[in-house]
Amino acid sequence: MKTDFDVLIVGGGPVGLLLACLLKQKGLSFRVLEKRARPKSHSAAIGITPPSLQILNKLGLTDSFISAGIKVSDCYVHGQSGLLGCMAFRQIPDQHPFVLALPQVTTMALLQKHLGAEFIETGCEVHEVQSLTDNCIVRVEKREWTAKYVVACDGWRSRVREGIGMRAPSHTYDSHFIMGDFIDRSGFGDAAHLFFTATGAVESFPLPGGQRRWVVQTDKALGDSPAGRISELIHQRTSIQVPVEDQINESAFTPRRFNCDRYYDGRIILCGDAAHGMSPIGGQGMNTGFADAEFLAEILTHSDPASLLPAYNRFRQKAAKAAIVRAEWGMWFGTRRGRPQSALRDHLLRFLLSRDSITKRLGSFYAMLTIPFNTLDRVPLSSLRTHIV
Ligand SMILES: Cc1cc2nc3c(=O)[nH]c(=O)nc-3n(C[C@H](O)[C@H](O)[C@H](O)COP(=O)(O)OP(=O)(O)OC[C@H]3O[C@@H](n4cnc5c(N)ncnc54)[C@H](O)[C@@H]3O)c2cc1C
């Protein structure tokens, strides 16, 4: 059956844009439908892990990403009793032995530039998607398009997911954070610093352009926090002065997790945050979505993509589950408060971080090298073939 496009992508966030770039490279006809008229100015994700850099390499984009970002090779861990050790990404067994710090807005801008504006319909909010036997129909106010497949990259509140009645039972954690980007006068250079204290966690990451992100645990969810709250909490917990005049932006978040029962229904496929959600503490959500996009781009070019959707479901759901559990565990460990818990954590971390073999493994763990099927190269081809026949 003739359709307007091979694929329609709902949502032009980082995952939708990456998928679009990969489909363009493979010669498929597609459009990205994005409800925003202008990109968001505030960044969520800042950490791009080595498996994602490998995926970007397929598009020849790794160098431009690396030159726009900051290579974080060292992550210093502090506890109540002072510096506990350093987790060195420089030792990890990968051609990119670092986590790249790059604001999500820049990631999106680079992907958009590579893709070309003609492939994105902005100010285009999708109201309804219907999956029929041979095609899908996408409705946007008074217009409609047809495509062989629709990929929902419309984020954790996914309207497409809701529309097809896909279950995504979620759990909201009892941990809350505020974060802000500041002009960086910390003297920390390109290193990340984590402070796990008895009164709450503080995390600090370098950003390009002489900025630094500070993420601070709070007692409760803060909608509008009083000006200077982040600086005040940083100072109370770490004695570091981060002047409020240097603050550029601020936002609050309460992490949650979910992993959809199924990642597709008929010809409608979920990808990125539309399919799964995890605590941002650990920085894996976007990276997990990038690996979904890589997998999907591959199977959408197959002569019979529908036969491979069960494999997409199986491998990507497993990978997301691993990332969700790790993010949850990492957040739980870093946010325990109180003197006894803090002393115990300090002991354990000091022990672990004093052993080279363990810091190397921790580096691989946090760089997502040990997430199952984190790139398509690591999906057993024999399993894929069983779905092809
Ligand atoms: C504080 C914070 C820090 C984070 N740090 C990291 C990190 O360091 N590393 C990491 O990997 N992840 C991180 N994440 C997670 C990361 O931000 C998300 O996983 C990522 O944004 C998901 O991308 P996405 O494209 O799937 O969805 P989104 O970014 O949510 O994009 C969805 C897009 O769909 C559009 N849309 C929605 N509905 C419609 C509709 N009906 N019609 C058309 N368009 C629609 C939206 O406007 C949006 O542009 C962080 C998250 C937070 C909150």
154 lines ligand 1 (CB under 6 A): yes
Residue from 22, 33, 35 to probe ligand 1 pocket by mutation (most atoms less than 8 Å from CB) = 35
Q: How far apart are CA 31 and CA 120, in angstroms?
A: 6
**Ligand 1 mean position, distance from CA 13 (Å):** 6
pLDDT the model gives residue 103: 97
The answer to whether residue 310 is domain-embedded is yes
Tell me which residue has its CA closest to atom 53 in ligand 1. 44
pLDDT for 119-135, tens place per residue?
A: 999 999 999 999 999 99
Q: How far apart are CA 356 and CA 282, in angstroms?
A: 21
* pLDDT < 50 stretches in the chain: 389
Percent of the chain with pLDDT over 70: 98
Domain with 155, as residue range(s), is: 5-70+100-172+257-334+384-388
Same domain, 131 and 203: no
Same domain, 214 and 304: no
The answer to whether residue 75 is domain-embedded is no
Same domain, 189 and 155: no
Residue 374: alpha-carbon gap to chain centroid: 13
pLDDT the model gives residue 164: 94
Tell me which residue has its CA closest to atom 41 in ligand 1. 126
Contact 299, 308 (CB under 8 A): yes
Residue 204: alpha-carbon gap to chain centroid: 18
285 lines ligand 1 (CB under 6 A): yes
The answer to whether residue 372 is domain-embedded is no
pLDDT the model gives residue 384: 66
Neighbours of 335 (CB within 10 A): 19
Residue type, 256: R
Q: Is 365 exposed, middle or buried (0-12, 13-18, 19+ CB in 10 A)?
A: middle
Same domain, 238 and 263: no
pLDDT for 188-222, tens place per residue?
A: 999 999 999 999 999 999 999 999 999 999 998 88
Same domain, 249 and 180: yes
The answer to whether residue 64 is domain-embedded is yes
Number of domains composing the chain? 2
Helix orientation angle between 285-300 and 309-335, rounded to the nearest 10 degrees: 170
Q: How far apart are CA 292 and CA 271, in angstroms?
A: 6
pLDDT the model gives residue 381: 61
Asked which of 253, 283, 312 is the last residue of a domain, the reply is 253
What CATH number has the domain bearing residue 191? 3.30.9.10
Residue whose pair of structure tokens reads 């100072």 in the numeric block: 235
The pTM assigned to this predicted structure is 0.96
DSSP state of 226: P
Q: How far apart are CA 65 and CA 85, in angstroms?
A: 29
What CATH number has the domain bearing residue 326? 3.50.50.60
